[in-house]
């Protein structure tokens, strides 16, 4: 007796990508491969699971991600604290340090895959989502920050997306931020009476984030707070100007946003986000910037680095709005058969066709000709190849063209099995 089993559902915020939409992912991924290759970026793949302390240290203890969004657990077999990666950058830097990758050359790298954050799910915000993360390790100049932005502008163009806007900011160096932070804390202390609970909780741990408040009552206070810009030294200014000059030369428009602080603590100098109004509340398609302190923070030799990540669900949503992404045909040739002997021959014939680079489905399941033809038609195949009892005896196959645009004939045509591949290849 089978026991009753309560049906299992996917975990909230974690989506199945079914075959009806997976072709959109494949189309996007293949276009992105071309895009990355055009700039010479090479693939790196790091584990989904890392030690929790990598992210706590790398992303920052007082960030939303580390404070409340990580899928962390204790590995009961050895008591290790592990976390499912909430992003790629910390893992890639860990790998670069571990394998001493920067000892003789810099690297342009990319990776792609699922990342995990325990956020409140809504459109464009999931608990398992996908990023493509691009990282340039070992390159200090503003040229590489600009390269990333140019690259992204090209991607939007390749995808036919024209309403993603760029916001840019310079976070300076840690000493400059420390001086600003002191001034900011002093300012917040002066206004402590009007601060909400969230702001009070953060004013000593992450005062910059206080300025990010959504509370309307705090906007004036936030607007009049001391700006980081006033604390930037010559080198930081020159770096940022170097990025801006290159963007101007490339004709890339941007808005300076002094409030842009990003949700991860590892950034310095350039930070940026690409934002659209077409996705509702979750309009940030891409975010990134420079993170020159992360190597040292994670115990490596100091090394400059910069990068960005695109949220692929959001990008795909935008792309699908811009133009429908056609469903590719499941195959070129759909093989229909009747009877056990014909099925066996069909299987062999299909292998021969595949030897000739044709994409072939051999019907399986229901046996009626009518339902087989229906499946053949739905598959998007250009030709149905039929092997029934008559064809079996004659050593032939009948070919029926299924699409109006396919090679002429409405009629079925009998072709010798030996000639079938050549015949089909010239016409599908």
Q: Which residues contact 40 (CB under 8 A, 6 or more apart)?
A: 108
Site for ligand HAM in 298-327 (CB under 6 A): 307-309, 311, 313-314
| Whole-Å CA distances, 417 to 204, 353, 369, 414, 420 | 79, 10, 20, 9, 5
Structure tokens at 81: 């604290």
| Count of residues that interact with ligand HAM, criterion CB under 6 A | 27
286 binds ligand HAM per the rule CB under 6 A: yes
Residues paired with 271 in a beta bridge: 169, 289
284 binds ligand HAM per the rule CB under 6 A: yes
Closer by beta carbon to ligand HAM, 126 or else 401 = 126
- Among 15, 27, 33, 119, interactor with ligand HAM by CB under 6 A: 119
Nearest-approach distance from CB 101 to ligand HAM, in angstroms: 16
125 binds ligand HAM per the rule CB under 6 A: yes
Nearest-approach distance from CB 248 to ligand HAM, in angstroms: 23
Listed residue (203, 202, 178) closest to 189, CA to CA: 203
Q: Which region among 102-110, 221-229, 288-296, 401-409 touches ligand HAM (by CB under 6 A)? A: 288-296
Listed residue (275, 269, 272) closest to 242, CA to CA: 269
Q: Which helix (H) or strand (E) holds 28?
A: helix 19-38
132 within 8 A of 312, measured Cβ to Cβ: yes
End-to-end CA distance of the chain: 52
Q: Which region among 15-23, 50-58, 129-137, 385-393 touches ligand HAM (by CB under 6 A)? A: 129-137
Site for ligand HAM in 209-268 (CB under 6 A): 263-264
Crossing angle for the helix pair 142-158 and 234-249, to the nearest 10 degrees = 30
- Among 89, 111, 236, 379, interactor with ligand HAM by CB under 6 A: 89
φ, ψ of residue 179 to 5 degrees: the values are: -65, -45
62 within 8 A of 206, measured Cβ to Cβ: yes
Residue number of the CB atom closest to ligand HAM:
311
129 binds ligand HAM per the rule CB under 6 A: yes
Closer by beta carbon to ligand HAM, 277 or else 357 = 277
289 within 8 A of 267, measured Cβ to Cβ: yes
Specify the residue for token string 């590892």: 266
Listed residue (289, 290, 288, 286) closest to 310, CA to CA: 286
Nearest-approach distance from CB 355 to ligand HAM, in angstroms: 43
- Among 285, 333, 362, 415, interactor with ligand HAM by CB under 6 A: 285
Q: Which region among 34-42, 124-132, 139-147, 370-378 touches ligand HAM (by CB under 6 A)? A: 124-132
CA–CA gap between residue 304 and residue 139 (Å, rounded): 6
Closer by beta carbon to ligand HAM, 318 or else 353 = 318
63 binds ligand HAM per the rule CB under 6 A: no
Give the binding site for ligand HAM (CB under 6 A): 87-89, 117, 119, 124-126, 129, 131, 133, 135, 263-264, 284-289, 291, 307-309, 311, 313-314
């Amino acid at each position: 007796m089978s026991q009753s089993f309560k049906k299992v559902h996917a975990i909230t915020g974690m989506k199945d990508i079914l075959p009806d939409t997976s072709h959109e992912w494949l189309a996007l991924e293949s276009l992105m491969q071309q895009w990355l290759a055009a700039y010479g970026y090479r693939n790196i793949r790091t584990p989904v699971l890392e030690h929790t302390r990598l992210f706590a240290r790398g992303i920052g203890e007082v960030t939303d991600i580390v404070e409340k969004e990580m899928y962390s657990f204790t590995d009961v077999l050895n008591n290790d604290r592990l976390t499912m990666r909430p992003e790629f950058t910390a893992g890639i830097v860990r790998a670069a340090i571990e394998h001493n990758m920067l000892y003789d050359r810099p690297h342009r790298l990319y990776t792609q895959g699922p990342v995990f954050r325990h956020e409140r799910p809504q459109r464009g915000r999931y608990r398992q989502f996908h990023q493509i993360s691009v990282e340039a390790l070992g390159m200090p100049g503003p040229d590489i920050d600009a390269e990333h932005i140019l690259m992204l502008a090209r991607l939007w163009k390749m995808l036919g997306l024209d309403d993603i806007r760029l916001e840019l900011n310079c976070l300076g160096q840690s000493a400059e931020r420390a001086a600003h932070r002191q001034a900011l804390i002093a300012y917040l202390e002066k206004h402590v009476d009007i601060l909400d609970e969230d702001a009070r909780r953060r004013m000593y741990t992450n005062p910059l984030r206080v300025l990010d408040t959504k509370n309307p009552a705090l906007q004036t206070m936030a607007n009049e707070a001391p700006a980081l810009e006033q604390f930037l030294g010559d080198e930081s200014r020159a770096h940022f100007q170097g990025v801006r000059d290159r963007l101007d030369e490339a004709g890339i428009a941007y808005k300076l946003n002094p409030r842009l602080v990003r949700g991860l603590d590892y950034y310095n100098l350039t930070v940026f986000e690409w934002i659209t109004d077409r996705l509702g509340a979750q309009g940030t398609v891409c975010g990134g910037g420079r993170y020159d302190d992360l190597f040292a923070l994670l115990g490596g030799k100091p090394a400059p680095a910069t990068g960005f990540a695109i949220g692929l669900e959001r990008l795909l949503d935008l792309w699908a709005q811009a133009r429908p992404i056609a469903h590719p045909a499941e195959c070129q040739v759909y093989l229909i058969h009747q009877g056990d002997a014909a099925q066996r021959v069909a299987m062999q014939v299909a292998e021969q066709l595949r030897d000739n680079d044709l994409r072939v489905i051999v019907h399986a399941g229901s046996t009626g000709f009518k339902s087989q033809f229906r499946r053949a038609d739905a598959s998007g195949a250009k030709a149905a190849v039929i092997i029934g009892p008559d064809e079996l005896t004659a050593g032939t196959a009948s070919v029926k063209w299924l699409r109006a645009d396919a090679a002429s004939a409405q009629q079925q045509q009998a072709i010798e099995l030996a000639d079938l591949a050549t015949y089909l290849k010239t016409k599908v």
